[in-house]
Amino acid sequence: MMASVVVGGNRKKSLTLTGVDPETCMIVFKNHWAQVVKILEKHEPSRSSSGALSFLSGHHSSSSAGALRLGPIPPDEASAVQNYVEHMLFLLMEEDAGQGGAMGPILEFVVLEGVMERLFLWSLRRQFTEDMKLEQLRMYQMLLCQAKQPLLHHKPILRPLMMLLASCAGAAVDSGGVVEAELVLLLNQLCVALVKDPSVLELFFHTSEDQGAANFLLFSLLIPYTHRQGLVGQQARDALLVIMSLSASEPRVAQHIAENTYFCPVLATGLSGLYSSLPARLQVYSEDWHCLDQGDWQQVPALVHFLHSLDFCSAVTKAAHPSICSQLLNYIYNGFLVPVLAPALHKLTVEEVMTTTAYLDLFLRSISEPALLQTFLSFILLHTHDNVHILDTLVSRVNTPFQLGTVSLALFRTLIGLFCEDVMLQLVFRYLIPCSHLNRRQRSSLQLRDCYSSSSTLFLLLMPSWCPVYFHNTNTPSDSEQIRWPKAEDLSVSDSVGYCRGSDFLMDVNYLQYLWEARQAISNSHRACRLWSAPYDGINPPPQEYRSDTPADDIDDEEELIKQVKSNSICSLVITPPPLALSPTPSSDTISISNQTGRGSSALELEWDDIFADEDVTLSLNAALANGSAAGEGDKCGSSPAPPPLPPRHIQEMRRSATKLVRGSYVEESEFQDDVLVYDLVAQKDTKAALLERIKAANRRSRGSISKGQPVSTAVTKTLSTMWTTTGRTVMETVNSIMLTRRRSEDFAKDERRRSEDYSKILRRRSEDCVRELRTTKEEEEDEIRIVGVGESHLFTNGFHGKNHIINKFDDTDGAIEPFKQNFSVNDVTVCVNHMHTAHQPRTHHNPPHMQCLESNSVPNGHFKPEPQKLCSSSSNAKSPNLPKKQVPNNDNDNNFLSQYYELMLSLGVEPDCDDITDNICTFRSRVQQLRQKLEEEDEELGTDFAFSSSWDDVDDEGETAVMEEEHEGEESRSSRKHGVPFTGPFISVLLSRLENLLENTIAVNLLVTGILAQLASYPQPLLRSFLLSTHTPNHTSVRTLYQVLVSVHAQIERYVADRPDYPALVTQAWRFLLAKDQDAKFRECLQSHDGDFILDASLPNGSVKNALPLPPLSVLPPCPTIPPQAKSRVFAIVLFAEFLKELAAIAQEHSISPDCWSEEAQNI
């Protein structure tokens, strides 16, 4: 009533008081006020004229009485008051400040008389209706907005304002939300004023005591509107952002917000709430849809809302004080990402999961603030859900044939496009860093440029043979190996060759565009990666440090493994690579240990975790299996080992060394054992499932949460021990003989060879025994045999990734154990023997691995020689004479091992060394190093092949090349080829496997896969670039390079086309059409955008491009051939293949001329 008119009126008022005498204004003001007071008092006779407080007290005392006397104000008086107040406010607003910033007289009067308070309280008493609130709000808005003096500096103005706000605090949604709107507007203005004039902040804090924390009020009033839509929400968020920016400079505010308000939780839970209101399933309108672009999400209001909130979080993160930031990000991580998004990514139905993946992709693309992006990325990379890394789950989904796979690919395209070192590390680089897929020569040539486009030529050679390239030169001979070009004199030919003319220019001129785009992409990635911590060029980060415990050790494919076994010499495999992490640099150890996060550690290492850390062995095993299966077979299970809680370092060292030793020997066995055992496994699957369930349950029980020291698993122990005992004889005999022989033998190399042969015999025999045994022990009852931690821990994945069908059957951890149960029978003794071997050869002293392996050894030992050991028991079980019954606490300490070791040694007829038994890592390491050196020497003798790459084929006898060779020789040759099967990571494997399926994939998948590969290829890091663009045969057949996949696709295409003679014509026609359309589209686009890239033709009269270049009308385009719908994707795939080759060749060429990011001159720029 009062102020609205004023406000409304004032906005249009053009009256100024510039010429008016201030004295006059004062007098007028006072007069008006007197009138108002008269009217007010007429209706509040009991009111005293002192301060507000007395007024209040008076109010209370006389409220009942006064209320009776309060009647409605007669309208004419109300309008009189309204007028007076209007004038008064205007006068107040227009008054200038006095000299030196002192209060103007009117303001002084207002302050002294408590005018604003009185007005407020008056309306408060008069049934503070919505309208009255509105009036008051508007009054203050106007004052704030337009007053020339800093009104907020004065408590008598501030206090009623605060009281007004407080009274509006409980404002429920009124009719139309007008009050809310005005309130928020006022709050917005207040915040802005606060920021402009931080001295007011003092008042806020200062008045906090008597006002009951006014500052809180301002902020806490805004909080409920944070997630509101519409103008109100927008203004509230703006106000909050203003406060955030204030907090960045005012630590008090920051502290208050962070500690005393619920701002951050509200934000985070708001996100969660908004997310849960998103549609669980999106209506996908086309099969090729794979990501939510702007047109899509604008149609879903809930999504728009969510994105706005996300933007707000970004903005807050950007503007606010670091303490608020970190708190907010924490809440977002723990309150939204982990509890809401993680389960959403693991929902049961494929559509829901696909939708969530699409959402996640959209969120990542929408976040503009690095800190918030870091939160999301660390969620993806580091968080584990059900012991599986989110990243691994996502990688595994890439291989699904449904739309989920496509959407997952799109997500990875986004992730890779971020140029984030952490993401690339986890996805790609940590598998490439050990350089296990490269031989020495290749590694040294990582840094060198491919000056002569050799890989480009090879890529281009893979173009389909019927591809219509320009055959103008009739002189080309029929043999394809050498192209003889005419000399320069024959200008007519040289003129035309290579230059695109005729109808086929389209096919080749776009190569220029590829070159251009490649250059852009490469320079973009150079620029983006200049902030990375390391150049990833094979030298930094150094391969040695990461070789032993990165997933390069993972054996993913059984076939790969077998090939590996066959291609390398037995001895180099039997003696596993030296555990390079044991080099005496603690930092590298720590790094390598911590590198075991998640899927870093092979399943082997995780076996050890059972002893020293409560781990879910089954899951880790399954993970390792799944890795292999995901990489090779395209299965869905993508679980991976959880990061083990780090046991003491020396334990890890032992573990690692044991792993190496074990795996080496185990690897060799796979090719013998697999088929037999695997088929047996299939037969016994059901029983195993039951057993596994028990194991799993037992493992869970034995994990840290419920530590009762119970037996971990009875079933496994049972079978394990069964196998041991039945085959114990043979094993022990051989072990015995071996040990004895070894002790006597001086020649290490001979030992190795013999041992390998022995191993094969042992293990073959044992595995057969085991198989038989397993069949018979199916129905054994449970007993309290504790599992020997070592035995269980030797459940290796290596040889028993099993055939596809085995793995495909396993959809969860239960199934995964199956092959492993076979495994450990094969492995354990080997391990032990290995350990024995290493223990004895240098004969220095013991170390814990030996103790551990003792356990397994002791079991077979116990078979034919009952010993009073804890571990072993001879045939005391009536039902099954082979079941040892000892109880062994899972987490036994070293003393037991030692005693058992002694006993075992004695039983073997070998004197146990009585040296100091300590967990002395250094000595252990040194021993291992000695072993390693011996191994290397032996390997040199055996002359494993070097497989030099073909490009550097000249004998180097001068220049830097020779030097390079020598120095590399020294450091590299010894340690380069000794570790396990190289593995380039599941992500690359899965990408390449999808690429290999090019002809069958949908168009969207093909586009995404080639797009991702092209983007990866444009990364500047030599490791990645050389892996993707190198055309050399890799040293290890287990590693599949992009070039090999392309060759295979080429062969597929040739085969396909060979059967269909008319196909090339069809494809060519489609190709031309697509290219022409593409050219045309690009042309029009650049014309319309008038980009700077477009170079105007200076030679033309007006220099305008538009006039110079005739726009080929669309009708001139070659006709689109009619292709039957089912063949569309295949035709497109072939066209895409050829274009992809061009793209890769262009990228390779551009890489050869790009300046290096990490060289000096680049850093000077």
Partner 1 sequence: MNLNPFWSMSANTSRKQRSDEEQSGHGEQRASPARLPFGKKQLPPIPKNAAPITKPTSMGTPAQSANGTHASYGPFYLEYSLLAEFTLVIKQKLPGIYVQPSYKSALMWFGVIFIRHGLYQDGVFKFTVYIPDNYPDGECPKLVFDIPVFHPLVDPVSGELDVRRAFTKWRRNHNHIWQVLMYARTVFYKISTTEPLNPEAAVLYERDVQLFKSKVVDSVRLCNSHLFDQPKIEDPYAISFSPWNPAVHDEAKEKMFAYKRRPEEHHKGTQVSGLSWVKPGSTQPFSKEDNPPQS
Q: What is the DSSP letter of 288?
A: T
Mutual angle of helices 350-366 and 301-319, in 10-degree steps:
40
Q: Smallest distance from the beta carbon of 173 to partner 1, in angstroms?
A: 35
Q: Hey, how many other C-beta atoms are within 10 angstroms of the C-beta on 772?
A: 14
Does the N-terminal peptide bond of residue 1124 adopt cis geometry, omega within 30 degrees of 0?
no
Give me the least distance between CB of 500 and partner 1, in Å please.
Answer: 6
* ∠ CA 1120-1063-993, rounded to 5°: 100
Residue 65 vs 512, nearer CB to partner 1: 512
Q: Cβ closer to partner 1: 169 or 1086? A: 1086
Choice between 501 and 1128, CB closer to partner 1: 501
- In this complex, which beta carbon is closest to partner 1, that of residue 52 or of residue 423? 423
Cα–Cα distance measured from residue 914 to residue 918, given in angstroms and rounded to the nearest whole number: 11
Least distance from C-beta 945 to partner 1, angstroms?
15
What angle, 0 to 180 degrees and rounded to 10, lies between the N-to-C axes of helices 105-113 and 115-125? 50
Least Cα distance to 429 among 987, 830, 967 occurs for: 987
**Residue closer to partner 1 (CB basis): 241 or 467:** 467
Closest approach of Cβ 1154 to partner 1, in Å? 8
For 64, phi then psi, to 5°, come to -65, -45
3-state secondary structure of 384: strand
Rg (CA), the chain: 39
Q: Based on CB atoms, which residue is closest to partner 1, 64 or 492?
A: 492
Give the residue with the Cβ less far from partner 1, 495 or 945.
495
The Cα-based distances of 677 to 146, 691, 801, 825 in angstroms read 88, 17, 11, 11
The CB-of-509 to partner 1 minimum distance in angstroms stands at 6
Question: Residue 385: phi, psi to the nearest 5?
Answer: -115, 120
**Shortest Å, Cβ 1080 to partner 1:** 11
**Tokens representing 971?**
């450091």
Tokens 């053009």 locate to 14
Q: How far is the CB of 244 from partner 1 (least distance, A)?
A: 16
**Strand-pair partners of 384:** 389
For the record, the structure tokens of 395 come out as 């990688």
Residue among 168 and 529 whose Cβ is closer to partner 1: 529
Report d(CA 769, CA 860) in Å as an integer: 13
Tell me how far CA of residue 756 lies from CA of 165, 558, 739, 974, 977, in angstroms.
85, 20, 13, 21, 18
Judge residue 977's burial from the number of C-beta atoms within 10 Å of its C-beta, 0-12 exposed, 13-18 middle, 19 or more buried. buried
Least Å distance between CB 422 and partner 1?
3
Q: Please, where are the H alpha helices in 96-129?
A: 105-113, 115-125
- Whole-angstrom distance, CA of residue 602 vs CA of residue 549: 8
**What backbone torsions phi and psi does residue 384 show, to the nearest 5 degrees?**
-115, 135
List residues bridging with 389 in a β-sheet: 384
Shortest Å distance, C-beta 1019 to partner 1: 12
Q: What's the CA gap between 549 and 556, in Å, rounded?
A: 15
As a whole number of angstroms, the distance between CA 962 and CA 566 comes to 32
Q: Are 808 and 629 in contact (CB under 8 A)?
A: yes
Neighbours of 1165 (CB within 10 A): 6
Please, which residue, 266 or 448, has the CB nearer to partner 1? 448
Q: How far is the CB of 835 from partner 1 (least distance, A)?
A: 30
Residue 17 CB neighbours (<10 A): 15
In terms of CB distance, is 464 or 1022 closer to partner 1? 464
Cβ 1139 to partner 1, closest distance in Å? 14
Which is closer to partner 1, CB of 7 or CB of 358? 358
Sign of CA dihedral 829, 830, 831, 834: positive
Buried b (16+ CB within 10 A) or exposed e, 1094-1113: eeeeeeeeeeeeeeeeeeee
Distance CA 1046, CA 177 (A): 64
Q: Cβ 391 to partner 1, closest distance in Å?
A: 10
Q: How far is the CB of 967 from partner 1 (least distance, A)?
A: 17
- Nearer Cβ to partner 1, position 381 or 883? 381
Burial class (CB in 10 A: 0-12, 13-18, 19+), 818: buried
Nearer to partner 1, 802 or 986 (CB): 986
Tokens 């509040």, located at residue:
44
From the CB of 480, what's the least distance to partner 1, in Å? 4
Which is nearer to partner 1, 505 or 864 (by Cβ)? 505
Q: Least distance to partner 1 from the beta carbon of 1161, Å?
A: 6
**Nearest residue (CB) to partner 1, 447 versus 730:** 447
> Tokens 């702007």, residue?
294
The nearer residue to partner 1, 715 or 1138, going by C-beta atoms, is: 1138
